[in-house]
């Protein structure tokens, strides 16, 4: 599955990094960046958690 991030919505809460360290990181201002767009089956639960906790609804999980 594929992760999409709308960085201009991000409020730099860092919640996605806590939920899925190997998928999300933050730039120098704390704004989220994607480390990978394609996530494996073993990462999907963590990314779903990131989607649920992101206060800005900036993350989406798309695809099959």
Partner 1 sequence: MAETVAGPAHDVAGTAPEFPMPRASGCPFDPPPGLKELQEQGPLVKVRLWDGSEPWLVTRYAEQRAVLGDPRVSADTDRPGYPTKTSAEAGEGKLSFIMMDDPEHARLRRMVTAPFAIRKVEALRPAVQRIVDGLIDDMLSGPGPVDLVEAFALPVPSLVICELLGVPYDDHAMFQDNTRTMVRTTATPEERGAATREIAGYLAGQIARRLTDPKDDLLSGIAGRVAAGELTHGQATEMALLLLIAGHETTANMITLGTAALLEHPDQLALLRDTDDPRLVASAVEELLRYLHITHLGRRRAVTADMEIAGQVIRAGEGVIMVNEIGNRDPEVFEAPDRLDITRDARRHVAFGFGVHQCLGQPLARMELQVVYGTLYRRIPTLRLACALEDVKFKHDAFIYGIHELPVTW
> Which residues make up the interface to partner 1 (CB under 8 A)?
11-15, 17-19, 25-26, 28-31, 49, 52-53, 55-57
Exactly one of 14, 22, 34, 43 binds ligand SF4 (CB under 6 A); that residue is 14
- Chain-centre distance of CA 37, in angstroms? 9
Nearer to partner 1, 1 or 14 (CB): 14
Sign of CA dihedral 28, 18, 21, 12: negative
Contacting residue, 10, 20, 23, 47, with ligand SF4 by CB under 6 A: 10
Report the candidate in 14, 36, 38, 18 with the shortest Cα–Cα distance to residue 26: 14
**Least distance in Å: CB of 14 to partner 1?**
5
**Euclidean distance between CA atoms 59 and 41, whole angstroms:** 17
């Amino acid at each position: 599955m594929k992760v999409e991030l709308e960085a201009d919505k991000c409020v730099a809460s860092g919640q996605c990094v806590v939920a899925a360290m190997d998928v999300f990181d933050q730039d120098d201002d704390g704004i989220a960046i994607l480390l990978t767009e394609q996530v494996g089956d073993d990462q999907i639960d963590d990314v779903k958690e990131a989607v649920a906790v992101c206060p800005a609804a900036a993350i989406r999980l798309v695809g099959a």
